[in-house]
Amino acid sequence: MSQGGKMQQPDLPLSLMPSGLVVAVTSMDEAIDDGQKELLASYGISPGRTIIIVQQKPMTVVMAEDMEVALEITVSRHVWVRKVLS
Amino acid sequence: MTACSHAHTASVAAPMVLLVGHPNVGKSVLFHRLTGNYVTVSNYPGTTVDIARAPMKQHEAFWIMDTPGVLALPSRSDDEQATVRAILHENSAVIVQVGDAKNLRRTLSLTAVLVEFGLPMVLVLNMQDEAEARGIVTDVDALSSALGIAVIATVATDNVGMDALVTAIGCAAVPDRMLHYDAATEKKIIALMERMAVQETFSSPVAPRALALLALGEDPVILSMLDASDRCAEKTGGLPVKLIRERVMAADHWVSRFSSRKAQSSPQLAHRIGQWVVHPWYSLPILAIILSIVYLWVGVLGATTLVGLLEEDLFENRLTPMLTGWIEANIPFPFIVDLLVGPYGLWTMGMTYAIALILPIVTTFFLAFGFLEDSGYFSRLSVLANRVFTVMGLNGRAILPMILGLGCVTMATLTTRILHSPRERLIATFLLALAIPCSAQLGVVMGMLGKLPLWMTLVWMGVMLLILALSGFLAARLIPGKRIPLVTELPPMRVPMLANVIKKTSGRLRWYLVEVIPLFLMGTLLMFTLDRTGAMPAIIRAGEPLVTGWLGLPAEASAAFIMGFLRRDFGATGLFVMSDRLTPEQMLVGMITITLFIPCFASLMMMIKEHGMRVAMTMLAFIIPLAFLIGGGIHHALTWLPLLLSRVWV
């Protein structure tokens, strides 16, 4: 789909995105319970927020503002993100 | 800036100043600066699992309280609940929120809750140096005016900003509210405040609005104070997450108003190192290098060189002969002479073990440990260890109590409180009691392993890791409950501060000397009594089928196991002094058995305190037979395997 001449990026699980990418969190699956959503939100990972992917193995590590946060793959695969176009 | 320039400055009526904030933002360093008292400070979240309090040295009327870090409010974990209880029930005069200057959004999202308490408040933006290094500039004066409270920029480790903070505490003001929630939420808050007003259980000095907000966020501390009907009514699916999001959005708005960022240069070296130590390729070689350095430092320098200097050169060749000569010449009672300098003498055994054998080992270990924990490396290990701990029904966060257990199992048992569920705490406590040797014991074991071929050291490590993994695997399946996936912050790597490492080491050594020497002397007295009454030979005879028959050790090794009941390192030292009379295979079997053997008396008491008598005794009933079973199994494998292999080979 075209938006202002640019292709709309698809939503993908955070765990599938390559390192170094800047992404915006779009949604979280129901598989992530409310407690985890609270925890993620307190680390600055919630829908609408932008994060940088630092690495994916052995765990997903993202930079949320100036804090590095490590997420297990069982969590990061349920966090949906979209690449931020520069 | 002037700390006392706000119009609605509150007169401070109550004496407690609470340091509240996210984990790992420097609350404990500030506590030290404000009280002169030292609590353990480390570069990983969850250092403070208990509440420390002491009089403020600059304002004697006030007391300072260091609370455990909170990720967010409403509270979810035990340590967060401890902080909420402190705010509600202590004589709270001032809340000093300690925040990370380089993460203003996160800091302000917690501020948005704390301002609701209606208590005088000061906001500290700590680690200002790290924020500046990243090009982050915050207009503290403007932020202070907007919040209506003093905002102080500090670098607590360098004592920067402390005078301004002291002044600000003396005239702290009640803050303005940071946000209004949406209309539906505000309506719920007011309705709940009205219901709570008629309930007698709410007698806290904090603003009712804060209590209502926490109740709507399903804070267990507040829910426990509500009537049963209200408790059910306030379990509102999804609202807690929504409240947090609203606070984060409000914080975003404030950050855009008061903070800016200069164009960032290339990442700092510390940041790069932090990424290398969790890198898929570099992390394991880095871990291997660190472990090798620790082994050389503790196992070779501490357990071999320094022990040799102290035990042989100082004690055996100088002090003990001198003291023995003096005692024999001046004390005419052979019983007393024997009690002091005999084979089970208070000096020859108790003091020699504590000072000459273990002190150099624990000193080198504590120095290495303090250096690593100050660097922030331990926190990053949770990323590497997560997969291993998943097998045990835990997550990588459990690495912190396990590593602390290598320092002291008793303290580590207390630190299991940083884990998020009772199930995780139970499994971690069990593994600590079973297979994690404390520093003193580990040092002695390293000293003995240093005399053995490398393959035996690898067997010892392999057996320990296998038992740890298998026991954890079984425990995870036997103890009901769900595993919690790991989501954790990774604090930045920092150059360890030598002064902090030395301070921590001396604090730990003081604890060691105060706790260990009396226990070693008591243990020696017990051994002396058993020897004198003739019970020792009887015990050695009784233990023969187990110790000699099953474990393949000399009969006298029974004495080491009796000593091990008091402290594991005391027992390990008992084997250490016998090492000249043991074959390498016997040393290996002895080390494995004594490492798995029961936890020391102090950690047993901590297990009872944390989990109750029934759970602690159940653990012991499993651990003691298992230690002998594994030790004997290794002995028999070492005896029969070479024979079997040689036959197969022929």
Cβ B171 vs Cβ B149: under 8 Å: no
pLDDT computed for residue B266 by the predictor: 58
Whether B385 has its CB under 8 Å from any CB of chain A: the answer is no
Q: Residues of chain B whose pLDDT is less than 70? A: 1-14, 38-50, 198-204, 227-238, 263-267, 407, 566-567, 601, 649-650
B280 and A57: CB-CB below 8 Å? yes
Starting at the edge strand found earlier in the chain, the sheet holding A67-71 runs A12-13, A79-83, A22-28, A50-55, A60-64, A67-71, B487-490
Counting one residue from chain A and one from chain B, the pairs whose CB atoms sit within 8 A come to 102
The nearest CA of chain B is from the CA of A15 a distance in Å of 14
CA distance B547 to B559: 10
- pLDDT tens by residue, A13-65: 999 999 999 999 999 998 898 888 888 988 889 888 899 999 998 899 999 87
Q: Residue B33 is encoded by which pair of tokens? A: 């600066």
Nearest by CB: B387 against A58, A69, A75:
A58
DSSP string, B400-440: HHHHHHHH-HHHHHHHGGGSSSHHHHHHHHHHHHHH---HH
Give the mutation candidate from B22, B77, B104, B241 for the A interface (greatest A CB count, under 10 A): B241
For A7, B116, B241, the CA distances from B112, given in Å and listed in that order, are 38, 7, 15
Q: Would you state the structure tokens that stand for residue B275, as one six-digit string?
A: 């990424």
Q: Who among B76, B274, B382 is closest to A35 (CB)? A: B76
How do B63-66 and B16-21 pair as beta strands? parallel
**CB neighbour list of residue B456: distance below 8 Å, 6 or more residues apart:** B449, B584, B587, B588
Chain A residues close to B245, C-beta within 8 Å: 41, 46
CA distances from B414 to B135, B333, B410 (A): 39, 46, 7
- Nearest chain B residue to A75, by CA: B485
Chain A, residues 40-79, CB within 8 A of chain B, namely 40-44, 46, 49, 54-55, 57-59, 61, 65-72, 74-75
Note whether B280 contacts A61, CB cutoff 8 Å: no
Q: Tell me whether B383 touches chain A (CB under 8 Å).
A: yes
CA distance B546 to chain A (A): 44
| Chain A residues with beta carbon closer than 8 angstroms to that of B125 | none
Residue that wins the pLDDT comparison between A8 and B327: B327
Cα separation, B199 vs B330, in Å, equals 75
Output B620-627 pairs: Cβ under 8 A, ≥24 positions apart. Answer: B620/B433, B623/B433, B623/B434, B623/B596, B623/B597, B623/B598, B623/B599, B624/B597, B624/B598, B626/B434, B626/B467, B626/B471, B626/B596, B627/B593, B627/B594, B627/B596, B627/B597, B627/B598
Say if the Cβ atoms of B486 and A59 lie within 8 Å: yes
Structure tokens at B431: 């593994």
Q: How far apart are CA A77 and CA A32, in angstroms?
A: 10
Q: Which of B244, B283, B489 sits opposite A67 (nearest CB)?
A: B489
The rounded distance, in Å, linking the Cα atoms of B48 and B73 is 17
pLDDT tens for each residue of B458-510: 889 899 989 999 999 999 999 888 888 999 888 888 888 787 788 778 877 88
* Parallel, antiparallel or unpaired: strands B63-66 and B52-55: antiparallel
Q: What are phi and psi of B170, to 5 degrees?
A: -65, -20
Judged by a CB distance cut-off of 8 A, whether residue A26 touches chain B is no
Pair of tokens at residue A71: 């997420």
- What residues of chain B, 57 to 86, have a C-beta less than 8 Å from chain A? 71-72, 76
For residue A1, the model assigns a pLDDT of 38
**Can you tell me the distance from the alpha carbon of B356 to that of B576, in angstroms, rounded to the nearest whole number?**
12
Considering only CA atoms, which of B31, B33, B36 is closest in space to residue B50? Answer: B31
pLDDT at B492: 81
CB B648 within 8 A of CB B602: no
Residues written for chain A:
86
Max Cα-Cα span within chain B: 95
